[in-house]
């Protein structure tokens, strides 16, 4: 390892590695954050994929590596993976509780540099820096080899085809070839400083990409080559290497689209037939004037030119992207270009030919380019037809907009300023699904109370504890008074446990409709105390389970394990000492 | 004496949770993460899990109530829930989740429904046990540094 030459930007690498973690599960988010911090990494957490992309775009060079869950309600992890790979060219690690080979394979196909299974061990996270390091080395060599490739190309008889052929090859082969060439060609110049490795990473904004595609179209897709494109594009700071790698990705993307198209045209009864490819559509490149598309995209991104693409993946209640994304399976090696492509747009795209721009993510760039504020689009507002007018709707799943959970999709608009909230508070609410982010304001008022209480209760667990001795002391054997004491504590919706049956709970849930599946907040607490079981520890939890599944068997079990009356008094005294 | 007894109780509960298969190794991972910076880390995580998983369970419930049942969706929801359960090492719950997924794959609604009941039982049982455990542990920690 030419460590001496290739130095990392930070002296104490891998410490301080900047990691972005994306997971809709707040519990895992917190665990991972803690684990990564213990590895001395700099952690940013995000529960929304969209938000994560925005973060990545805002701070182009702000992160070294991304760790993302595969199953997220607002966007498929694989799609995010593609975006990140395409736009930011960062290493992405996927995580999932599902370790099926097919899934892992899909991850690798989409360009994941690793695939971790939940539950994740800390030792697995300790080594993630290797992916960053590897990438830097690779980029350094790529940079070198591209230059040497170009020089070879010049020497040839203008046969850019061979050059293309090389580029067109599967990335691995290409990389190997490059590496070999690189090794042969520059023994002297193996020292790459990290800045040049970083230069290789160009962010392809929508403007840039448009120029690129225009150039490609002008040249003619079959005859295209990096040099020609570069000349046409007339972007002074862009290197041939940049163009070449972008071209490669573009080709892979197009192939994938083509395959997807073929696959789709042969299948029927797809749910998302009304969804155009978000990627293709997003730029509206179907008409060369780059109008915004008329179709709804599958992804919940907002696309080009201020036109809003709202995902209506399904006319159903549940989360949008996932359904459609799951249809999308084909991926090339290396950096697949974009995510979702759906039926109609596929056909459209194939009609128009290969001159489609890719990377819906660049649509997002367009959003920024158009000086639109950061936007989230509502994942699953169905039937939101994209109009040509520049309606920049900002859709943020704001949990405060109480959404009826009766399976009706509706349009939710939220104050934009609210939408660009802090990382942790960006909620993602699917219509039927309850929001993912714990920090987000909860969906329902009850839920909210419980949530906030739960958060509070964590902090106050110890605080409230001393109160308990009093209650315990008073109520060594009785049950009732405890409940009144507890009502002074941060108690939550505890129902009259003894009289609620399973059926009632379910019925109540039905009646409550939009409320979380919890017993309504009921200050009148009637606890069924297991003998001697100290149950004042509020976890701020909804107590559905408690009420439903109160099982005398459990009670009988507990005391024998935990306390007998003697023990109870021990605790009693112990508490008093406090 | 009190101190010892408390400590013993805490340890006993903890051991039995593992022995009886309620918790798996992930719980130990959480304990290892606990430090001075986050002295109540495990409890915080468990609390977070239980409060967040309510919505996941709710989703599954709703899914079960829909007619006709959408097994793909159900499976997705269960997947989410299972992923969450894995965060605290809720072993028995996870086992039931897997069973549920199998019934989903077989499109056996009855099986799904029954398994879901079982999931709730395990979920609640674990919750109670953990609450007790934390109760005792914290008592011990608070009172007897």
The secondary structure of chain B, three-state, reads CHHHHHHHHHHHHHHHHHHCCCECHHHHHHHHHCCCCCCCHHHHHHHHHHHHHHHHHHHHHHHHHCCCCCHHHHHHHHHHHHHHHHHHCEHHHHHHHHHHHHHHHCCCHHHHHHHHHHHHHHHHHHHHHHHHHHHHHHHHHHHCC
Question: In this predicted model, what pLDDT tens digit does every residue of B44-69 receive, in sequence order?
Answer: 999 999 999 999 999 999 999 988 99
Residue A267, pLDDT score: 60
State the count of interchain CB pairs (< 8 A) between A and B. 209
Exposed/middle/buried for residue B6 (C-beta within 10 Å: 0-12, 13-18, 19+): buried
Residue A250: inside a domain:
yes
Q: Are the Cβ atoms of A541 and B9 closer than 8 angstroms? A: no
Output phi, psi for A21, to 5 deg. Answer: -110, 130
Domains contained in chain B, CATH given: 3-25+40-139 (1.20.120.160)
In the stretch 6-25 of chain B, residues with CB closer than 8 A to chain A read: 6, 9, 12-13, 16, 25
pLDDT at A107: 87
Alpha-carbon gap: B18 to the closest alpha carbon of chain A (Å)? 14
Distance CA A133, CA A129 (A): 6
Beta carbons of A414 and A426 less than 8 angstroms apart: no
Domain-located, residue A412: no
Look at the alpha carbons of B86, B90, B95, B96 in this order and tell me if their dihedral is positive or negative: negative
Please tell me whether the peptide bond between B30 and the residue prior to it is cis, using omega within 30 degrees of 0.
Answer: no
Residues A216 and A106 in one domain: no
Report CA A35 to chain centroid distance, whole Å.
19
> Does residue A42 fall inside a structural domain?
yes
Is there a domain that residue A469 lies in? no
Minimal C-alpha gap between A549 and chain B (Å): 6
* Percent of chain A clearing pLDDT 90 (strictly above): 11
Judgement on whether residues A137 and A27 belong to the same structural domain of the protein: yes
Q: Where residue A234 sits, what CATH number does that domain have?
A: 1.10.10.60
pLDDT at A121 over 80: yes
- Write the residue in A24, A97, A537 that is nearest to B134 by C-beta: A537
Instruction: Tell me which DSSP letter residue A271 carries.
Output: G
Test A537 with B44 for CB contact under 8 angstroms. no
The rounded distance, in Å, linking the Cα atoms of A482 and B10 is 23
Q: Within an 8 Å CB–CB cutoff, is residue B61 touching chain A?
A: yes
**Average pLDDT estimate for A477-486:** 39
By Cβ distance, the residue of B53, B77, B86 closest to A118 is B86
pLDDT above 90 for A535: no
In a domain, A189, yes or no: no
* Confidence band, pLDDT 50/70/90 cuts, at residue A32: very high
CA angle (A301 as vertex; A298, A303 as ends), nearest 5: 105
Rounded Cα distance between A318 and B143, Å, is 48
Domain edge (last residue) among A243, A261, A279: A261
- Asked whether residue A268 is domain-assigned, the answer is no
Scanning A220-303, the segments in alpha helix (DSSP H) are: 226-233, 240-266, 278-283
Q: With a cut of 60, say whether residue A410 has pLDDT above it.
A: no
Are A226 and A122 in the same domain? Answer: no
Within this chain, do residues A219 and A137 fall inside the same structural domain, yes or no? no
The pLDDT assigned to B105 comes to 93
Which chain B positions have a beta carbon within 8 Å of A509's beta carbon?
Answer: 58, 61
> Do A434 and B48 make contact, defined as CB atoms within 8 angstroms?
no
- A531 three-class SS: coil
Q: Mind telling me how many Å the CA of A324 is from chain B's nearest CA? A: 12
Is residue A33 over pLDDT 50?
yes
Nearest to A517 among B58, B89, B117 (CB): B58
The structure tokens 């400083």 sit at: A193
For residue A98, what pLDDT is reported? 83
Query: Is B51 in contact with A435 (Cβ distance < 8 A)?
Result: no
CA distances from A291 to A282, A286, A287, A389, A522 (A): 9, 8, 7, 10, 55
SS3 A56: helix
Give the CA radius of gyration of chain B.
17
Cα(A74)–Cα(A321) distance, rounded to whole angstroms? 6
The structural domain count of chain A equals 2
Name every residue whose Cβ is closer than 8 Å to that of residue A43 and which is 6 or more positions away in sequence: A19, A21, A32, A33, A36, A37
**Inter-chain CB proximity A454 and B51 less than 8 Å:** yes
From B17, which residue of chain A is nearest by alpha-carbon distance? Answer: A561
Helix (H, G, I), strand (E, B) or coil at A476: coil
CB distance B143–A546 less than 8 Å? Answer: no
CB–CB of B142 and A465 under 8 A?
yes
Check whether the bond before A517 is cis (ω within 30° of 0). Answer: no
CB contact under 8 A, B33 and A24: no
Q: Using a CB-CB distance cutoff of 8 angstroms, which residues of chain A are in contact with residue B102? A: none
Q: Label residue A150 by pLDDT band (50, 70, 90).
A: low
Statement to judge: residues A138 and A33 lie in one domain? yes
Range of the domain at A106: 16-142
pLDDT digits (tens, 9 = 90+) for A484-516: 333 333 334 333 433 444 444 444 444 444 444
Same domain, A49 and A121: yes
Q: How far apart are CA B12 and CA B136, in angstroms?
A: 11
Same domain, A29 and A129: yes
User: Which residues, other chains included, contact A472 with Cβ-Cβ below 8 Å and sequence gap of 6+?
Assistant: A482, A534, A536, A571, A572, A575
Tell me which residue of A334, A521, A559 sits closest to A442, measured CA to CA: A521
**Residue A320 pLDDT > 60, yes or no?**
no
Instruction: Tell me if A559 is assigned to some domain.
Output: no
Cα-to-chain-centroid distance, residue A304:
21
Which CATH number does the domain housing residue A56 bear?
Answer: 3.40.50.2300
Q: What is the DSSP letter of A64?
A: S
Residue A4, in any domain of the structure: no
Q: Is the pLDDT of residue B107 over 60?
A: yes
Question: Which residues in chain B touch residue A517, judged by CB atoms under 8 angstroms apart?
Answer: 54-55, 57-58, 61
Give the lowest-confidence range in A200-204, A256-260, B8-12.
Answer: A200-204
């Amino acid at each position: 390892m030419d460590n001496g030459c290739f130095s990392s930007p930070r002296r104490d690498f891998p410490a301080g590695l900047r990691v972005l973690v994306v997971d809709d599960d707040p519990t895992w988010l917190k665990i991972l954050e803690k684990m990564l911090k213990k590895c001395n990494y700099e952690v940013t957490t995000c529960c929304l994929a969209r938000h994560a992309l925005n973060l990545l775009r805002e701070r182009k060079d702000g992160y070294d590596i991304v760790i993302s869950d595969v199953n997220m309600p607002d966007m498929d992890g694989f799609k995010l993976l593609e975006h990140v790979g395409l736009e930011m060219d960062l290493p992405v690690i996927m995580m999932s509780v599902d370790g099926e080979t097919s899934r892992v394979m899909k991850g690798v196909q989409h360009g994941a540099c690793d695939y971790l299974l939940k539950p994740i061990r800390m030792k697995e996270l300790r080594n993630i820096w290797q992916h960053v390091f590897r990438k830097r080395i690779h980029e350094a060599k790529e940079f070198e080899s591209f230059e040497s490739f170009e020089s070879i190309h010049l020497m040839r008889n203008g046969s850019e085809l061979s050059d293309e052929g090389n580029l067109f090859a599967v990335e691995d082969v290409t990389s190997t070839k490059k590496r070999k060439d690189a090794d042969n060609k520059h023994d002297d110049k193996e020292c790459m400083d990290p800045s040049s490795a970083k230069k290789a990473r160009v962010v392809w904004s929508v403007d840039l990409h448009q120029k690129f595609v225009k150039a490609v179209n002008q040249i003619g897709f079959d005859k295209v080559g990096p040099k020609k494109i570069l000349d046409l594009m007339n972007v002074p700071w862009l290197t041939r290497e940049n163009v070449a790698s972008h071209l490669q990705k573009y080709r892979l993307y197009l192939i994938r689209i083509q395959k997807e198209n073929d696959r789709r045209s042969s299948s029927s009864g797809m749910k998302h037939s009304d969804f155009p490819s978000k990627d293709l559509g997003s730029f509206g490149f179907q008409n060369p004037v780059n109008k915004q598309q008329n179709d709804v995209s599958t992804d919940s991104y907002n696309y080009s030119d201020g036109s809003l693409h709202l995902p209506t993946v399904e006319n159903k209640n549940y989360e949008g992207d996932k359904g459609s994304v799951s249809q999308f399976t084909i991926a090339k090696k290396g950096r697949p270009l974009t995510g979702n492509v759906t039926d109609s747009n596929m056909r459209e795209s194939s009609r128009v030919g290969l001159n489609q721009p890719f990377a819906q993510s660049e649509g997002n760039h367009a959003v920024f380019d158009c000086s639109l504020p950061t936007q989230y689009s509502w994942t699953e507002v169905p039937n939101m037809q994209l109009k040509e007018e520049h309606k920049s709707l900002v859709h943020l799943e704001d949990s405060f907009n109480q959404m009826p959970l009766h399976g009706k999709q509706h349009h939710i608009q939220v104050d934009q300023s609210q939408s660009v909230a802090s990382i942790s508070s960006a909620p993602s609410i699917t219509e039927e699904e309850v929001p993912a982010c714990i920090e987000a304001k909860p969906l329902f008022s009850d839920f909210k109370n419980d949530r906030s209480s739960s958060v509070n209760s964590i902090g106050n667990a110890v605080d409230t504890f001393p109160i308990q001795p009093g209650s315990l002391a008073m109520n060594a054997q009785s049950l009732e008074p405890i409940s009144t004491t507890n009502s002074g504590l941060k108690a939550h919706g505890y129902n009259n446990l003894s009289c609620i049956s399973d059926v009632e709970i379910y019925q109540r849930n039905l009646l409550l409709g939009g409320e979380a599946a919890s017993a309504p907040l009921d200050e009148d607490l009637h606890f069924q105390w297991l003998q001697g079981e100290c149950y004042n520890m509020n976890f701020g939890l909804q107590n559905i389970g408690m009420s439903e599944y109160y099982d005398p068997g459990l009670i009988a079990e507990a005391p024998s394990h935990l306390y007998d009356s003697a023990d109870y008094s021990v605790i009693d005294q112990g508490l008093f000492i406090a | 004496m009190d101190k010892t007894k408390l400590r013993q109780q805490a340890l006993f509960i903890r051991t039995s949770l593992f022995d009886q298969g309620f918790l798996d190794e992930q719980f130990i991972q959480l304990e290892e993460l606990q430090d001075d910076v986050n002295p109540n880390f495990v409890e915080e995580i468990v609390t977070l899990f239980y409060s967040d998983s309510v919505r996941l369970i709710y989703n599954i419930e709703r899914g079960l109530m829909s007619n006709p049942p959408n097994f793909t969706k159900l499976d997705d929801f269960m997947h989410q829930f299972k992923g969450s359960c894995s965060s605290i090492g809720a072993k028995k719950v996870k086992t039931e989740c897997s069973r549920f997924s199998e019934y989903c794959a077989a499109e056996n609604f009855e099986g799904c429904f029954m398994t879901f009941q079982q999931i709730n039982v395990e979920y609640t049982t674990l919750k109670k046990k953990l609450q007790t455990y934390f109760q005792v542990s914290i008592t011990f920690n608070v009172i007897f540094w």
